[in-house]
Structure 1
Amino acid sequence: MVSERIGLYIEKKHISYYAFENSIGASRGSISKAVKDCKSIGSNVLEKIISVYPDLNPVWLLTGEGDMLLDRDNEDGVNRYYLKTDSTVDIQQVPLYNAEAVAGIIPLFNDAKQTQPIDHIAIPNLPKCDGAIYVTGNSMYPLLNSGDIVLYKIVDDIPNSIFWGEMYLLALTVGGEEYITVKFIHRADKEGWVKLVSQNPDHQDKEIELSAIRALALVKASIRINAML
C-alpha cells in the first residue's frame, strides 16, 4: 500500500508527520490519517511528495519494488533542506565561522558582527542563511559526517519558532555542561520538554527541557567535501 510505504519513509527520515505535511502543503493530519487507516493518496499529492523529497525512489513508493532511497549525489556537493515557506536568494556570501575560536555558538549568535569569519561560501539559490560552521561528531551520520559544513538561519524566539521534525544546530546546557550539536527536534510528551533525535541509529533520542536550549538555528544546507587520498 502506497500510504504504508509513505509511513515507512517518514519513519526512516526521522521527521514528524506535521513537518512532512507542512513541507508538501498538505492539511494537518491528512497524511498521518491516511497512513494509519491505509487509505489511498491522490496522485497530485504523490507528485508533490516526489518533487519535495528527491531521495525517495518513486518506483518503490508506487510498487514496493527496489530500494526506498535513491543512491544519488548532488552535483554541487550540497544537500539543501527547504521548508514550504522558504524563498531562495540568487547569490549570497555566507560567512564561515570557527565555533571553537569564539567559545561556542552562543556568543556567535548573539553578536556575529563582532566575529571575524574564516572565509565565505557562495552558493546560488539557497534560502537566506546567517552563517556556516563545521560539524563534529557522528550523531547525524550518514546524513552528516564529522567535518561537513552546515549553513544555518538563527532562531531568535526559541519557544515559539520551532518547526517540529526539522534539523537544527543548537547549544544546550545539561548538568552544568554546555554542548553544541545538530539534531532533529521533535515534540516530547512532557510539557515544556523537547526530544532531540539523531539520524545515527546508534545514538539514542534524548528529552530535555526547552529552557536548556541556549542558542538555536535551523539548518538550511550542508556541504560535504569528498577528497581522493
Structure 2
Amino acid sequence: MTDKEKILQYLDYKGISKNKFYVKTGLSVGFLDKGSSLGVDKLKIIIDNYPDLNVDWILTGEGEMIKGKEKKQEAIPITAGIVKYVPLVSQYAKAGYLSGFADENYMETLPTIPVILTQEQEPKGEYVCFEVSGDSMISEEHPEESLFDGDILVCRNVSKDYWRSKLHISQWDFVIVDQEEGVIVKRIIDHDVNSGNITIHSLNPMFENKVLNLSHIDKLFNVVKVMRDRRR
C-alpha cells in the first residue's frame, strides 16, 4: 500500500471527504490521486492537521493507523452518563412537528432514541432530537463546526422565560421553530433584547443572514450534542 493509499484509508476510517481534507490542509485538489509518494513537506502538513494519524504507520507500516489505538482502552461504564430516550423529529416529520409540538398525543407518536447525557449537559429539561436536512450549516472554512445532512442534533428546550434576557449565543447553535421559516438549525449571531429580534446565520456562505422576531418563534432549542454516522 502506498503512502497516499494509506492517507485515503485513514480518511475513509475517519469519515472525512477528500474535499474537506483539501480545504483543511490547503493541498491541491487531486493531490491524493496523483503519484504514490507524499513527500516530507506534504506529510508534515497532513500530520499537523491530523495529529492522531500515526506517522510510523505511514512510513513503515508498523503499529496502528491511529495513535494510541494499540493501548488498552477501558470501557466507560454507562453510569458515566445519564441515558434518556428522546423523541426524534426526522427530516420528514418537521412539518408535522411544527403544527403538533404542543399536542402531547402527537409527541407520543414520535419515535425515541437513546441518548447519553453528562451532568455538564444538564440532563433535566425538555429534550428533542432533530435530524439535519440540507447544507446550510456546512462550512468549508471551519469543517469541524459543520452540521451535515442526516446528523442527529440532541437539543434542549430554552424556556421562554429566558428569552427576555440575552441568549447565550456564543455557546450554542440553535434549532428554531419559527411560524414562517419552519424548523431550522442556525447560529444566532445577534440578539436585540429590546426589540426581540435575532439575527440567524448559516455556516454556508451561500445563505444570507436573516432577522427573525422572537414573537413569531414557538420553540427555541440549544444544540447540546451531535450524533453522526461514522460511515459518512
If the length of structure 1 is used for normalisation, what is the TM-score? Answer: 0.52
The 3 A distance-change label for structure 1 pair 120 and 139 is: same
- Residue 146 of structure 1 aligns to a residue whose secondary structure is coil
Deviations 1:17-36 (A, max 9, x none): xxxxxxxxxxxxxxxxxxxx
What letter corresponds to residue 89 of structure 2 in structure 1? Y
Question: Aligned match of 1:210 in 180, 191, 214?
Answer: 214
Query: Retained in 2: the 8 A contact 1:168–1:216?
Result: yes
Other-structure match for 1:25: none
The 3 A distance-change label for structure 1 pair 104 and 196 is: farther
**Structure-to-structure mapping, 1:135-174, within 5 angstroms:** 135-142=132-139, 143-157=146-160, 159-160=163-164, 162-165=167-170, 166-173=172-179
Deviation at 1:163, TM superposition (A): 1.6
What letter corresponds to residue 179 of structure 1 in structure 2? G
Q: Is residue 95 of structure 2 the alignment partner of residue 118 of structure 1?
A: no
Of structures 1 and 2, the one with the larger relative CO (CA 8 A, separation 6+) is 1
Unmatched 5+ residue regions in structure 1? 1-65, 76-87
The 3 A distance-change label for structure 1 pair 137 and 103 is: same
Deviations 1:159-201 (A, max 9, x none): 326322331101213xxx4422101112256833110011122
Query: Retained in 1: the 8 A contact 2:83–2:114?
Result: no
Please, which moves more after superposition, 145-154 or 133-142? 133-142
Aligned partners of 1:111, 1:123: CA distance in 2, in Å?
Answer: 26
Unmatched 5+ residue regions in structure 2? 1-44, 53-65, 67-79, 140-145
Query: Percentage identity across aligned positions?
Result: 25
Other-structure match for 2:87: 95
- Residue 163 of structure 2 aligns to a residue whose secondary structure is helix
Other-structure match for 1:48: none
Across the two proteins, how many residue pairs are aligned to each other? 146
The 3 A distance-change label for structure 1 pair 121 and 139 is: same
- Residue 123 of structure 1 aligns to a residue whose secondary structure is strand
Which protein has the bigger helix share? 2
Aligned partners of 1:156, 1:124: CA distance in 2, in Å?
Answer: 19
Deviation at 1:152, TM superposition (A): 0.5
Deviations 1:134-180 (A, max 9, x none): 1111111141011111011112316326322331101213xxx4422
Question: Aligned match of 1:183 in 182, 186, 207?
Answer: 186
Aligned partners of 1:104, 1:218: CA distance in 2, in Å?
Answer: 21
Deviation at 1:120, TM superposition (A): 1.3
Query: Retained in 1: the 8 A contact 2:174–2:185?
Result: yes
Aligned partners of 2:148, 2:132: CA distance in 1, in Å?
Answer: 7
Aligned partners of 1:72, 1:136: CA distance in 2, in Å?
Answer: 31
The 3 A distance-change label for structure 1 pair 195 and 117 is: same
Deviation at 1:71, TM superposition (A): 4.8
What letter corresponds to residue 178 of structure 2 in structure 1? L
**Structure-to-structure mapping, 1:1-229, within 5 angstroms:** 71=50, 89-98=81-90, 100-101=92-93, 103-107=95-99, 109-112=101-104, 114-115=106-107, 116-125=109-118, 127=121, 128=123, 130-142=127-139, 143-157=146-160, 159-160=163-164, 162-165=167-170, 166-173=172-179, 177-187=180-190, 191-227=195-231
Deviations 1:35-76 (A, max 9, x none): xxxxxxxxxxxxxxxxxxxxxxxxxxxxxxx89x96589x9x
The structure with the larger Rg is 2
The 3 A distance-change label for structure 1 pair 137 and 90 is: same
If the length of structure 2 is used for normalisation, what is the TM-score? Answer: 0.51
Deviation at 1:215, TM superposition (A): 1.8
